[in-house]
């Protein structure tokens, strides 16, 4: 089988007549695209308050969806998984996280640098049709799950249209959203109609004043309303993401676990990760083992659950409780070996690792008029450069990367 590099050099030979494409290609191959930032001020980094309720999204009933022969063949391992999305360690990337915006209506301390971020000019962000073109291509290659994230994805005015169009992609089994929950209660009926089938809601404190301190904005009750609405509308489990930080919210672990007694929630405790501008330090990180020990003092019979191979969360349940608890242990016990994720930033860069700073601009390749085959060669080359594992939390904390808000978690 051709290696990623040889596939790329073949492509390069065929395009030596196109100077623009050649330049782009060499940049992509080297993986060192520069990210252009605008000089947008913090004040400009405000809500995109478009009304996203005007979608004509069709109703979707997943039970009516039949498996295509392509899907069946793939599931039965008769068709090999795309070479472009398989890396040198055999990891098959069937999960794509797409950031829909760099903007947010909150300013979480662990995500958004205190001085804000310079926003990319709108013309350099992926348009609706570019988002869908890329999604279509990845799904054709075997991506089965797309998560929309950001910034805050639910402030993007076309989010309902994007979901409704994604729903039409044969082979895409799951459309998920990670949201801060601020607009969720209002939008959820339409999101569900459009085809959203999985929701993660971020909530770091059950104490309103502390919530406001962490996210530097008001809105606790809106988030709770969003969580309740998701439960009421039948999402099960509703995943609640809680970034645990020492001195801030680690004293609330037991209260979060207690929430799972009556509600079908999966509370996911996330180890605090270092990103540009978030002032991470080791002492503020509460490790999985420490959290587990603390929870076990209250519930010694906490049961470990079986999880799928590519699941990132280690999940547990208190016997008799309706919901469950998960831990995302990216720092103390990484899961790089089974990583199946790729990310596309709002400005169209493909990131093969959350903690790696190598990026390739798919936006520029798309806008150069490249064909799907050419795009795939560039995606394949980037996937081929993916490292076996991240560099470890101390090295990551010293490395240049984007702030989380500009990546999309
Ligand atoms: C960047 S946010 C984007 C989606 C949405 N705005 C939200 O907050 O859910 C995605 C997820 O990343 C998590 N996150 C952000 N910064 C983090 C950090 N430094 N360490 C761990 N998780 C982080 C957030 O808690 C959230 O669950
Ligand atoms: S974690 Fe989500 S809600 Fe908080 S600042 Fe980042 S993008 Fe916004």
Q: Decide: helix, strand or coil at residue 252.
A: helix
Pocket test for ligand 1, best of 98, 243, 250 (most atoms within 8 A of CB): 243
Where exactly does CATH 3.20.20.70 map onto the chain? 96-338
Flag whether pLDDT at 360 surpasses 50.
yes
Q: How far apart are CA 328 and CA 112, in angstroms?
A: 20
Using pLDDT thresholds of 50, 70 and 90, give the confidence band for residue 390.
confident
> What mean pLDDT is predicted for residues 78-85?
81
Flag whether pLDDT at 4 surpasses 50.
no
| pLDDT tens profile 226-283 | 999 999 999 999 999 999 999 999 999 999 999 999 999 999 999 998 888 888 888 9
Task: Write down the pLDDT at residue 397.
Answer: 76
Q: Which atom of ligand 2 is nearest to the CA of 151?
A: 7
> What mean pLDDT is predicted for residues 184-190?
98
Closest residue by Cα to atom 4, ligand 2, is 108
Q: Which atom of ligand 2 is nearest to the CA of 149?
A: 7
How many CB atoms sit inside 10 A of residue 37's CB? Answer: 15
Ligand 1 mean position to 401 CA, how many Å? Answer: 15
Ligand 1 mean position to 111 CA, how many Å? Answer: 6
* Ligand with the closest atom to the CA of 178: 1
Pocket of ligand 2 (CB under 6 A): 104, 106-108, 111-112, 150-152, 180, 202, 215, 405
Closest residue by Cα to atom 11, ligand 1, is 409
Using pLDDT thresholds of 50, 70 and 90, give the confidence band for residue 55.
very low
* Ligand with the closest atom to the CA of 331: 1
Q: How far apart are CA 87 and CA 3, in angstroms?
A: 10
Q: Which atom of ligand 2 is nearest to the CA of 179?
A: 2
Ligand 2 mean position to 149 CA, how many Å? Answer: 10
Structure tokens at 392: 């470890």
Closest residue by Cα to atom 9, ligand 1, is 179
Task: Give phi and psi for 175, each to the nearest 5.
Answer: -115, 115
| pLDDT tens profile 199-230 | 999 999 999 999 999 999 999 999 999 999 99
Flag whether pLDDT at 124 surpasses 60.
yes
- Assess contact for 117 and 405: CB atoms under 8 A: yes
Q: Decide: helix, strand or coil at residue 359.
A: strand
Q: Which atom of ligand 1 is nearest to the CA of 405?
A: 1
Distances (CA, A) of 192 to 9, 186, 187, 240: 44, 12, 9, 18
Distances (CA, A) of 28 to 203, 382, 395: 37, 8, 25
Q: Which atom of ligand 1 is nearest to the CA of 99?
A: 3
Flag whether pLDDT at 52 surpasses 80.
no
Pocket test for ligand 2, best of 117, 180, 211 (most atoms within 8 A of CB): 180
- Structural class in CATH, domain 96-338: alpha beta
Structure tokens at 274: 């270092």
Mean residue pLDDT across the chain:
84
Task: Write down the pLDDT at residue 47.
Answer: 35
Closest residue by Cα to atom 6, ligand 1, is 152
Q: Which residue has the higher pLDDT, 56 or 240?
A: 240
> What mean pLDDT is predicted for residues 322-327?
97
- Assess contact for 402 and 274: CB atoms under 8 A: no
Q: Which residue has the higher pLDDT, 33 or 145?
A: 145
Pocket of ligand 1 (CB under 6 A): 104, 110-111, 149-150, 152, 178-180, 202, 241, 243, 270, 272-273, 275, 278, 404-405, 408-409
Closest residue by Cα to atom 2, ligand 1, is 409
Please report, rounded to a whole number, the percentage of residues in the chain having pLDDT higher than 90. Answer: 64
Q: Supply the pTM of this predicted model.
A: 0.84
Q: Which residue has the higher pLDDT, 84 or 354?
A: 84
Q: Which atom of ligand 1 is nearest to the CA of 201?
A: 9
Using pLDDT thresholds of 50, 70 and 90, give the confidence band for residue 387.
confident
Q: CB-side exposure of 116: number of CA atoms within 13 Å?
A: 16
């Amino acid at each position: 089988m051709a290696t990623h590099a040889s596939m790329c050099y073949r492509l390069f030979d065929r395009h030596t007549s196109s100077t623009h494409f050649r330049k782009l290609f060499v940049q992509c191959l080297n993986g060192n695209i520069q990210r252009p930032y605008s000089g947008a001020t913090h004040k400009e980094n405000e809500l995109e308050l478009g009304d996203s309720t005007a979608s004509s999204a069709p109703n979707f009933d997943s039970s009516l969806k039949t498996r295509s022969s392509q899907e069946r063949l793939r599931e039965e391992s008769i068709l090999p998984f795309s070479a472009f999305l398989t890396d040198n360690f055999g990891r098959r990337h069937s999960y794509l996280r797409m950031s829909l915006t760099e903007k947010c209506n909150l300013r979480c301390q662990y995500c958004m640098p205190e001085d804000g971020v310079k926003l990319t000019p709108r013309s350099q962000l992926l348009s609706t049709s570019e988002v869908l073109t890329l999604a279509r291509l990845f799904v054709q290659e075997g991506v089965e799950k797309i998560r929309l994230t950001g910034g805050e994805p639910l402030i993007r005015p076309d989010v309902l249209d994007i979901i409704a169009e994604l729903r039409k992609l044969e082979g895409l089994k799951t459309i998920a959203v990670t949201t801060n929950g601020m607009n969720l209660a209002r939008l959820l009926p339409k999101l569900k109609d459009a085809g959203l089938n999985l929701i993660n809601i971020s909530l770091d404190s059950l104490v309103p004043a502390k919530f406001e301190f962490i996210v530097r904005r008001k809105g606790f009750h809106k988030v709770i309303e969003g969580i309740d609405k998701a439960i009421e509308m039948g999402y099960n489990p509703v995943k609640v993401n809680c970034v645990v930080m020492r001195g801030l919210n680690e004293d609330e672990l037991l209260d979060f676990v207690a929430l799972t007694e009556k509600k079908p929630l999966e509370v996911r405790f996330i180890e605090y990760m270092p990103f540009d501008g978030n002032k991470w330090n080791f002492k503020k990180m509460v490790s999985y083992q420490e959290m587990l020990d603390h929870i076990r003092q209250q519930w010694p019979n906490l049961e470990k659950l079986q999880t799928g191979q590519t699941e990132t969360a280690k999940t547990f349940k208190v016997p008799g409780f309706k919901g469950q608890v998960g831990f995302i242990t990216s720092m103390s016990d990484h899961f790089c070996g089974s990583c199946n994720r790729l990310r596309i930033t709002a400005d169209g860069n493909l990131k093969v690792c959350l903690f790696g700073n190598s990026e390739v601009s798919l936006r520029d390749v798309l806008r150069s008029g490249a064909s799907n085959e050419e795009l795939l060669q560039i995606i394949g080359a980037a996937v081929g450069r993916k490292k076996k594992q991240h560099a470890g939390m101390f090295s990551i904390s010293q490395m240049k990367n984007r702030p989380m808000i500009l990546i999309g978690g």
